Structure 1
Amino acid sequence: MEIAENAALVVVDVQRGFDEEEFWGPRNNPSADENIAGLIDAWQASGRPVVFVRHDSAKPASPLRVGYPGNDFKPYVEERRGKGGGAELLLTKSVNSSFYGTPDLKAWLDAAGVRQIVVAGIQTNMCVETTARMGGNLGYEVFVPLDATHTFDLTGPWGWTLSADELARATAVSLHGGGFAKVVSSAELIAAAKDA
């Protein structure tokens, strides 16, 4: 795996509101936060760009709504902001894709000549997957470290319910098998970033 010197890490929606289990239900991958932190550290140490994405929900009951403490980044993310040697962007959005946020992610990446992005964060099958799919459609080489994401059990039509692990596997298969992104581990990306 080759990681470009200007590959951007896109950290999606790692916000305090996602710790409210009574709202979201059971989650998977308890090591996600540790792996996300490790990726941020590796990217900042190598001087690569990092994009911090915050979901500003317009739903009045959402734990991610503006003005509510859950809208804030988790402490380990907040304390890392502004610490790297590379470019950094704070992007806000109110939909699933980070490419529909403010400021314009594609314009920012293209201005810096970035062609590779790594998409990590919350939720695996929602904003991470949507951002990765759009990135692939827009022509970027996209990597998704599955162990640096997590999601929650979800009920869909006809009472169908999938566990968080089942949803994460479905996302991984769709992204990787469908050619939208390469699904990898955070350790592989960290090693590749150090070797570059």
Structure 2
Amino acid sequence: MENTLQGRPALLLIDIQQGFDEMEYYGGERNNPQAEQRAQELLAYWRENKLPLFHIQYSSRDPRSPLYPSKKGFAFKEEARPLPGEPVLVRSVNSAFIGTDLQARLHAENIDTVVVIGLTTEHCVSTTTRMAGNLGYHTFVISDATASFNKTGVSGQHFDAALVHELSLATLQHEFATVLTAQALLQQLRVPVAGS
């Protein structure tokens, strides 16, 4: 996988929605409490530099879910609230590429590099990243702009959120994407390209 950014990278903000504040529904605890702040910093950079970005919103089909469209949790968190004119793609599955025109939009803008942030690392971030890698995009996941929840294993064992997060990232690194911190990503973006 590429470890440096190419072209005009698109920022994919995955499900940064208020419903994830209802932590008991998702496993009781999560890691990376600063994930939304890192996401906000990256979003600010993308906006300032007029780079392409896409807000991805999960619309649960389960009426019990905090992300069900009629519930307040469906709304975006303040840190990642879309501005007028910014694209919002809504889907009801884990991948941002299914049920949306994301791939067509990226193709129309000749974008071959995507940066994935948001919630949650083990579900929609991972699924979107895997698909992006399989579709041939240069794909980057920002480790401290994503977060996971506690999980219960199939045999009842407990896996804490930090472990879930690290293992999820480990399964993506090299095979599907390059994993970077927000600071490392911004350092790359701010380095002038030779000859420019």
TM-score w.r.t. structure 1 length?
0.91
Compared CA separation, residues 31 and 152, structure 1 to 2 (3 A): same
**Following TM superposition, by how much is the alpha carbon of 1:47 offset from its aligned partner in structure 2, in angstroms?**
1.1
- Deviation >6 Å, runs of 4+: none
> Equivalent residue for 1:16?
18
Which residue of structure 2 aligns with residue 62 of structure 1?
65
Residue in 2 that maps onto 1:31: 34
The one-letter code matched in structure 2 to 1:46 is N
In the aligned structure 2, how far is the partner of 1:170 from the partner of 1:183?
A: 12
For structure 1, the 5+ residue unaligned runs are none
Structure in which a larger fraction of residues adopt helix: 1
Give, in whole Å, the separation in 2 of the partners of 1:22 and 1:132.
26
**Alignment map for 1:1-196 (pairs within 5 Å):** 2-24=4-26, 25-78=28-81, 80-82=82-84, 88-102=86-100, 104-177=101-174, 179-196=175-192
CA contact (8 A) 1:46 1:194 kept: no
Please say if residues 42 and 193 of structure 1, whose CA atoms lie closer than 8 Å, have aligned partners that are also in contact: no
| Percent of aligned positions that are identical | 37
Which sits farther off after the overlay, 42-51 or 8-17? 42-51
Give the SS at the match of 2:63. Answer: coil
After TM superposition, give the deviation of residue 22 of structure 1 in Å: 2.5
Q: 2:12·2:115 contact (CA, 8 Å) conserved in 1?
A: yes
1: CA distance between counterparts of 2:6 and 2:84? 21
